[in-house]
Amino acid sequence: MNHFLDINKTDPADLRGMIDQARVMKDARKGLPKGTKDADQPLKDHIVALIFEKPSTRTRVSFDVGVRQMGGETLVLSGSEMQLGHGESIADTARVLSRYVDLIMIRTFEESALLELAEYADVPVINGLTNRSHPCQIMADILTYEEHNGPIAGKKVVWTGDGNNVCASFIHAAGQFGFDLTFTGPPNLDPEAVFIEEARAKGAKIEIERDAAKAVEGADLIVADTWVSMHDAQSTRERRHNQLRPYQVNDHLMAGAKDDALFMHCLPAHREEEVTNAVMDGPQSVIFDEAENRLHAQKAVMRWCLGV
């Protein structure tokens, strides 16, 4: 059973195979109208359940379009439409869905819900996001970096701001893909120590540098994310803005990195907060390539899960 639960739980050779296949599949679609199906139809006669307990734009559209391009069909479900974790146990939900569909993607809050779903499902489960990690996003980011600047192994990635779920998956990827990562942000928003130690044990250089200007020296890639969640109270928003203002990605910060350094953001972005418009829309930004590559990377993940 090939579940895709986290980057650090997936064999590095399999991860590399997914990135390479995503690149091949993307190249094969060049010049085709958006609605054209792939010449290869590996998901023909397959049904994929897409469960969203959290709102989504890129995850929902990219998975839905990806399944359709590969010849499959989707069943899109929201938390409000299901008994998941409410009237019915997650384990029972997993058993029932396994009788209907070939693959399950879930975007949820607690990691425990993802893990329980995978434990009891008889079909592969994909982590579309939890509060703790976001592996599909980082697969797209690796694909994007390598399209522009070649292999990511040995490069320096700088994460600025909040050591959140996306940051966690970047740290997982450092250990699996062989690049180094520097986190720069306030101490109370550090990434989980267990993730840092695991990546270091695999040979990645993981550092914490409070001074953002020092952190970006020699950087090949700078990554930011929103400072606040849509669920955060106003008091939390104000406190986070005060804490994170020194870590805004602007022209001055980008100038401290390598000349060919890229900027990424998983979107949606709060412009002029964690990143300025000048950087978002500037020549080093690859945010929209990154968004598109969610489609191609996730298609490769689904193929790996199903062995097709």
Catalytic annotation, residues: 107, 134, 137, 225, 266, 294
The SS3 call for residue 200 is helix
Structure tokens at 265: 């953001």
Q: Do 54 and 268 contact (CB within 8 A), yes or no?
A: no
Show the DSSP H helices in the chain as ranges: 12-28, 58-69, 90-100, 111-120, 135-149, 165-177, 193-201, 212-215, 234-244, 251-255, 277-280, 287-306
CA distance linking residue 182 with residue 208, whole number of Å: 6
Structure token pair of residue 201: 């044990």
Say how far apart CA 68 and CA 83 lie, in whole Å.
26
